[in-house]
């Protein structure tokens, strides 16, 4: 690996994303990796390595890696980190950059479509609302508009630029 091949701006770009600022405080102590339940099952998933690669400017390697989508967001890493890096949040920043670079995996895109269409990842239909009515709970309405705006997606999961529905 040639250090000169790295993109020195990459770490700043990640740090500028919401939640990404903790990246630069990392000591590389690997307490996160030691405590991570995903790393316990998937040895190639190594939070310390993802942070090091990011700091070294390995933009393509990080953004295209399928491993950055493996985090279960349990925040065990944030719990043990002596530097309060909050790796889960740093990884969210990295994933946002990856999605903008077109590197989001199909599952993430499918999730975005569901959000744009229903405003939820699990669609709520008559079956659920009947059950809620029996329990005396109000019916759940689907309000996808906020997500459509956030995701820049038109209703029915159309990508922007595909024309009006």
Partner 1 sequence: MVNTPPSTPILILGGGVAGLAAAVDLARRGLACTLAEREPALGGRARDFCCKAVSACARCGACRLADLLAEAAARPQITIYTQALATSARPAEGHGWQVELAPAGPAAPLPIGPGQPLPGRVSLAAQAVILAVGPQPFDPAGKSSLGYGRVPGVISALELEARLVQGAWEQRPAPAKLAFIQCVGSRDQSLGRLWCSRVCCGYALRLARLLKASRPDMDIAFFHMDVQDYGRAWEEELAGLRREMRFVRAMPGEVAAGAGGPEVVFALAEGKQMREAFDLVVLSQGLGPPAGAGALAQMFGLARTQDGFLGRAEEPVAAGAAGVFVAGACQGPRSLTESIDHAGLAAAAAAAYVASTKGAGRG
**The one segment of 41-49, 53-61, 92-100, 130-138 that binds partner 1 by CB under 8 A:** 41-49
CA–CA distance from 66 to each of 5, 20, 45, 50, 147 (Å)? 21, 19, 10, 11, 25
Q: Which is nearer to partner 1, 49 or 158 (CB)?
A: 49
Using CB under 8 A as the binding rule, whether residue 39 contacts partner 1 is answered as yes
What is the smallest separation between the CB atom of 47 and partner 1, expressed in angstroms?
9
The one segment of 3-11, 13-21, 38-46, 138-146 that binds partner 1 by CB under 8 A: 38-46
Instruction: Give, in order, the Cα–Cα distances in Å from 143 to each of 38, 55, 126, 155.
Output: 33, 39, 16, 11
Examine residue 86 and tell whether it contacts partner 1 (CB under 8 A): no
**Phi, psi (degrees; rounded to nearest 5) at 162:** -85, 0
> Quick one: 49 or 120, whose CB is closer to partner 1?
49
Q: Which residues bind partner 1 (CB under 8 A)?
A: 25, 27-36, 39-40, 43-46, 48-49, 76, 79-84
């Amino acid at each position: 690996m040639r250090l000169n091949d790295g993109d020195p701006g990459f770490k700043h770009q990640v740090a500028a994303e919401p939640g990404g600022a903790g990246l630069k405080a990392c000591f590389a102590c690997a307490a996160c990796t030691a405590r991570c339940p995903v790393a316990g099952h998937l040895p190639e998933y190594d939070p310390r390595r993802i942070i090091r690669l990011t700091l070294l400017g390995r933009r393509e390697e990080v953004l295209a890696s399928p491993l950055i989508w493996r985090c279960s967001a349990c925040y065990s890493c944030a719990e043990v980190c002596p530097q309060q890096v909050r790796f889960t949040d740093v990884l969210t920043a990295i994933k946002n950059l990856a999605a903008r670079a077109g590197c989001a995996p199909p599952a993430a895109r499918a999730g975005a479509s569901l959000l744009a269409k229903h405003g939820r990842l699990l669609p709520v239909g008559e079956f659920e609302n009947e059950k809620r009515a029996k329990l005396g709970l109000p019916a759940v309405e689907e309000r996808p508009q906020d997500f459509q705006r956030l995701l820049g997606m038109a209703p029915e999961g159309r990508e922007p630029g595909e024309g009006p529905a």
